[in-house]
Structure 1
């Protein structure tokens, strides 16, 4: 590792520190209520804005990766940071617009936020791996750490960012604006920061469509892609809707602290799971973690108490958001060596498709209905995980033969 790249790595990681706020802020019950009051809609309708982030990712994923490889990580980071700034500052402008198109403005800005996420992913994941080339796994794990830390601090920041408008509406616009400005600053800094040359930039890369034309999919590869859908649904539905369940069903006036316990679970999972994978095969977590999430969701739905909501937040943060999607992607790379790039891309597309479709559906449901849908989706994930584990020996044999 060249030490001159350390400031560049920090700049890239800070993008994900702010992203931790951007990707979870619309899941906070207090922010949902503030936005809903301004736009004249139900609080659960704000979940559709979160779903638009997934739509933006779906739009950008097919070409964000090839662009990063051809034009460099710097361009991807700048496009991602600039688009994210528009999303966050746009939320503040949408709040001010009120019932005069505020909801529609926010939806469009959220699509840009999803596009930003795709460009940041395809620029920063390989970017930090190239800086810390001796330990790329640790480098990318650092991204999840920065996200989890900011999410853990978010409930405390909300108490500082709250303001009241002249008309008496509660507003969190200072948080949106400050985060948006931070993205602009980071985008400018990355323009001048030294970045290691990428070998990928010098090679001709196949696009997703070209790769798909040459790919033969087995039932196991389809199962792995579907796991990308189900595991994303587990933590996204919790992240965006669990506080509404705690508030409306359990009767908890301010459940925002659930976000902190969720993030604590994620942080600990990143450490403990990384240690466990040295002794336990990665594929085992694909069945075990969804099963743990399923049990937690059922207990929370039946028990309906604050302690259970807190425990559920910690468990879903651990077993649902603590690297399960990354583990599924890693298993794909190992089991499908000839199409690992394609399968990985499809897992992430399935993840984004889930984010859009499931959250859109959730925006029209009651909090209890959303919890039930999450249980069904997670149960499907458990079945898929068990199937992959049962087929694992045969899949390893085939992968070795290839």
Structure 2
């Protein structure tokens, strides 16, 4: 009898609502944290980069271990690490400790990814793409809610740290809920219960080295494209387009509205059998055009339209589409596929903020030009992935059926 994994899915999605807040908590509170840590924007950006290196440090290992030992332990471990980050980073006055807590948040993200994406694909095997894309909806919801919370705290003159405490409280309650939820069988459990002749199957996959390299590189480029925007959009609006601070931080809410709309549209299109590689190419192309336009015309209304468009195209599930396509090549090692793909993304979240920190010392406008170049490279790679995917489909259709 099939178990009902809907409560489990709800709990997993709520984790990513809080994660969506965690991704931008430091950047939205940058001015307060600069004073608390006695540094500048470049120094805070270095702390932001610690999330990327923390994520990279354990992601691949966590993904492989989740295939063997199960998804729940890593999800709970990710929850605990996030709690330490939320409480710790807002109470430290030391840049070294801030970097350490940021590193811990990156590890938390890895543990959640290693457990959550495979769990959802195993819980909903007939619609794994939709299940994964909905994660982005909750990330976007968190990124939509947080600027409103920060604006309310600024308006009422409250301590900025309440935004961190609220995230910690939600994560705690949800972690307790997930402890009581059922999780679907994982490859390690299946392998232990399978017949001896079938035990070799979980190690097989259908991914060539070229495709593996393409998906891994796309994981880097797609993550870098929207990560730069999510961290620097408010600063770009304020210092390049000349927007007031209270209006510039609302750009992230506009950005997340675009990503939420894209999630809904993409979920419908994937269910109606629109090929995922087509969406991959389309969204990456839109990101490139949007970035090029805002760099050439940094007016207020253009930046506001850009915030919605880039949220739609780069943060609305395109990263999850790439993961779903790659995981389809690793049907018995989804944790491993998730680890490889998001390891590339975590390299982006580590290296890109360091480059952005150097560029910010010269001009914040240069950061968006840098992101435009990344989006252009991502579009060319998406075209190549689409070409190889269509060639493989044609080969499969034209090959003779042996067992007929």
Above 0.5 in TM-score? yes
Change (3 A) 1:221 1:387: same
The match for 2:12 is 12
Task: Find out whether 1:256 has 2:254 as its counterpart.
Answer: no
In the alignment, the residues of structure 1 paired with residue 107 and residue 237 of structure 2 have an alpha-carbon distance, to the nearest angstrom, of 31
In the alignment, the residues of structure 2 paired with residue 204 and residue 363 of structure 1 have an alpha-carbon distance, to the nearest angstrom, of 47
List gaps (5 residues or longer) in structure 2: 193-201
Shift of 1:6: 4.5
Superposed CA offset, 1:248-292 (max 9, x none):
111112201111111111111112123334354221223222221
Give runs of aligned pairs for residues 84-233 of structure 1, distance below 5 A. Answer: 84-94=82-92, 97=93, 101=94, 103-132=95-124, 135-162=127-154, 171-191=159-179, 193-204=180-191, 217-233=208-224
The match for 2:196 is none
In the alignment, the residues of structure 2 paired with residue 308 and residue 130 of structure 1 have an alpha-carbon distance, to the nearest angstrom, of 42
Superposed CA offset, 1:175-230 (max 9, x none):
11222233233333333x1313514341459xxxx979x99854343222211111
Secondary structure of 2:240's partner?
helix
Change (3 A) 1:262 1:17: same
Task: Choose the corresponding residue for 2:342, options 323, 334, 348.
Answer: 348
Root-mean-square deviation (CA, aligned residues, Å) is: 3.0
Superposed CA offset, 1:119-155 (max 9, x none):
1122233334555566444433332222211211221
Contact 1:233 1:358 (8 Å CA) reproduced: yes
Change (3 A) 1:131 1:391: closer
Contact 2:121 2:128 (8 Å CA) reproduced: yes
Change (3 A) 1:8 1:347: closer
Contact 2:119 2:184 (8 Å CA) reproduced: no
Task: Choose the corresponding residue for 1:390, options 387, 391, 396.
Answer: 387
Contact 1:221 1:343 (8 Å CA) reproduced: no
Give runs of aligned pairs for residues 296-311 of structure 1, distance below 5 A. Answer: 296-311=290-305
Change (3 A) 1:64 1:71: same
In the alignment, the residues of structure 1 paired with residue 207 and residue 9 of structure 2 have an alpha-carbon distance, to the nearest angstrom, of 38
Shift of 1:324: 0.9
Deviates most, 367-376 or 62-71: 62-71
Secondary structure of 1:63's partner?
helix
Contact 1:227 1:385 (8 Å CA) reproduced: yes
Superposed CA offset, 1:102-123 (max 9, x none):
x221111111111111111222
> TM-score of the superposition, structure 2-length normalised?
0.85
The match for 2:54 is 56
Change (3 A) 1:219 1:300: same
Contact 1:164 1:171 (8 Å CA) reproduced: no
Superposed CA offset, 1:354-381 (max 9, x none):
1111112112222112111101111111
The match for 1:369 is 366
Task: Choose the corresponding residue for 1:35, options 11, 33, 36.
Answer: 33
Change (3 A) 1:339 1:60: closer
The match for 2:198 is none
> TM-score of the superposition, structure 1-length normalised?
0.85
Deviates most, 367-376 or 342-351: 342-351
Task: Find out whether 1:359 has 2:353 as its counterpart.
Answer: yes
Give runs of aligned pairs for residues 260-271 of structure 1, distance below 5 A. Answer: 260-271=253-264
